[in-house]
Structure 1
Amino acid sequence: MSLSLADGKDERDLSENSLANGSNSFAGSEESAGAEAVGYLETVHTPPLSATQRRKIDALSKLVQTTPGLELTSTERSWMDEACLSRFLRARRYNVQKAYRQLHETIQWRRKFGVERLMLDPELKDVKHQSETGKLYVHGVDIYGRPAVIMKPRYQNTSERKTANEQIRHLVYTLERAITLMEPPVEKLCLIIDFPGYSLRNAPSIKVQRQTLKILQDYYPERLGIAVCIDSPTIFWTFFEIIKPFIDPRTAAKIHFCSRKGKVGTNQHMQTFMRQLFHPDQLELELGGRSTWRYSNEEYFRELIVPNYLSANRECALIVAFSHDETEDEADQVFHDALSHCDNVKES
């Protein structure tokens, strides 16, 4: 499984360039498409922050850090870096007060949900159970260096009625893992939803769909680069029309629809579109690429978890403190236990 990221690639939304607007400027042979795409990327750079934007970032940071009763941990302060603050501000069009409310809510949600604890859980029993069939995972990167999050609803293997919370934990875990694979200046991910086999039996409820949408829009703002929906069935459109009013227009603009039966040579054709977005070696055969990689739960977690634990540092270990009352010595012990666990996994 290739997880390496392209260095120095711009990651601005594809909805802003010719691909999402129906043009085939990168279409043609695989080699020429890749060459033209790289040439395009080399001429595009993320614009530096203006003086006004930097002042707003400083103002937002001060607001959060001086909020009575919030008391950020060292890990939360590290998470809330300049890039994070900038994303929340961009999501609220640089309105400091609106960005503050969203960021404050996100911090509280991350604590209640237990995001840090989830990401350093050496067992991940519920997440591994949810992922057994390969219904949601991270694999490969697009030409912008953005990690690809792949969803295949037909492989739904658990009952929402019994495991709705586990399903959301699986989603959050996957988003967080995708983020750990990003290398600056990459900040966003590419979401691919492959719909064949989608039915009422495996479709999430409106409640879960709205919860998922809120997490993506409010708690992970400016993380979605593009969403590609392949072979969307009628039942999907029924649900989509219901939740569409809750989708931010800028998010909606990032959603692209294509089909295996679309007209070849147009962006409505899956392979045509996907090979403009991905190098074929980074894309599975069934998604229009030429990679023969197949999902394996054991191999997937071995590749994702072990490198992240082995590259962890002492500050990262402190987030394993399950309450703010634990001492640094206790946190250090948990950290070393986690590393020992990884060593055992790697050797097995």
Structure 2
Amino acid sequence: MSYLFQTRREATQQKPESSAEQQRKIDDVRELLGDLATEMPSFLSDGTIRRFLLSRNWSTEKAAKALKEAVKWRRQFKPETICWEDLAGIENEVQRAYMADYLDKNGRTVFVIMTSIKSLTSTKEHIRQLVYNLENLAMNSEGAQEGNVVWVCNFSGWTLSSTPLWETRESLHIIQKYYPGLIGAAILSNPPKIFESFWKIVKQFLEPTLQEKIKFIYSNNAESQRIMADMFDMDKLESAFGGRNTASLDLTKYAERMRRRDQLRRTCNHANRNT
């Protein structure tokens, strides 16, 4: 039920009514980008431009400006070159954050974060792994008209050291500025009392459109459980979120899955450069 997370802005924005009108907006942005469109064809796809337009209330000028800033960042960070084999502390980090092998009931990709598992890598490596995941989530969202990712975070056992504030702020900056429009809903599950003071600070870094997509869920709350049952197949959802899936993540199968995705990304990037 996508209406559960529809924001006030999404309900009132002037979205083009037809696919032809949307395509005209996309073409207008591409024209404003000039040579950049040929420099980064894989990144500057119709799907990416549509996401940036949606996040900028379909303003072609604002979307083009945001995309130019994203291109500048990508030149320096080179996110498209990051692959599974480059990541440090893979086994531990994957258990902290991974793409689930199931979709929600709206067909959206589910990205799971277990914040209580302490990261064993540096902040620099943690950000690098976040970007790697965002690249894969963006690839999954290429043909989507709206936010196609459900972010599900388990905060049971969370402490102030679990997610340093600087790292949280940098992560939110990257998500909102360089991967806008990906997140359709964000579930924060069972945050402890101590999280309240942290949340008051974090909210200042959130754009209104993203903040309105966030929902707090509690295992001892009937309404929370109804929302989760509306969104997910409870046989597939992890037990940490109230589901009936008690299986642990198979790291070997997950690694194989991500290597296949790396190969697909390389193939697509090569094909687009030669188009």
Task: Give the TM-score normalised by structure 1.
Answer: 0.68
Is 1:65 aligned with 2:24?
no
CA distance in 2 between counterparts of 1:312 and 1:246 reads 31
Match of 1:251 in 2: 210
In the TM superposition, 1:40-189 aligns within 5 A as: 48-49=18-19, 51=21, 53-66=22-35, 70=36, 72-73=38-39, 76-118=40-82, 121=83, 123-126=85-88, 128=90, 131=93, 134-139=95-100, 140-158=102-120, 163-182=122-141, 184-185=143-144, 187-189=147-149
CA distance in 1 between counterparts of 2:97 and 2:126 reads 10
Structure 1: segments with no counterpart, 5+ residues:
1-10, 18-45, 322-327, 329-348
Look up the SS of the partner of 1:170 in the other structure.
helix
Shift of 1:212: 1.1
Change (3 A) 1:312 1:153: closer
Q: Is the 8 A contact 1:226 1:254 kept in 2?
A: yes
Look up the SS of the partner of 1:210 in the other structure.
helix
Look up the SS of the partner of 2:88 in the other structure.
helix
Q: 1:219-266 deviations in whole A, cap 9, x for unaligned? A: 11111100011111233221221121231111111000111122x2x1
Specify the code of the residue in structure 1 equivalent to 2:157.
Answer: G
Match of 2:178 in 1: 219
CA RMSD after TM alignment: 2.8
Aligned positions, number: 264
Shift of 1:180: 3.2
Task: Give the TM-score normalised by structure 2.
Answer: 0.84
Q: Is the 8 A contact 1:142 1:282 kept in 2?
A: no
Change (3 A) 1:101 1:193: same
CA distance in 2 between counterparts of 1:232 and 1:298 reads 30
Q: Is the 8 A contact 1:102 1:218 kept in 2?
A: yes
Match of 1:295 in 2: 249
* Bigger Rg over Cα: 1
CA distance in 2 between counterparts of 1:143 and 1:104 reads 35
**Which segment is superposed worse, 224-233 or 89-98?**
89-98
CA distance in 1 between counterparts of 2:143 and 2:54 reads 17
Q: 1:143-190 deviations in whole A, cap 9, x for unaligned? A: 11111111111102326xxx1110011111122223334474465100
Q: Is the 8 A contact 2:141 2:182 kept in 1?
A: no
Identity %: 27
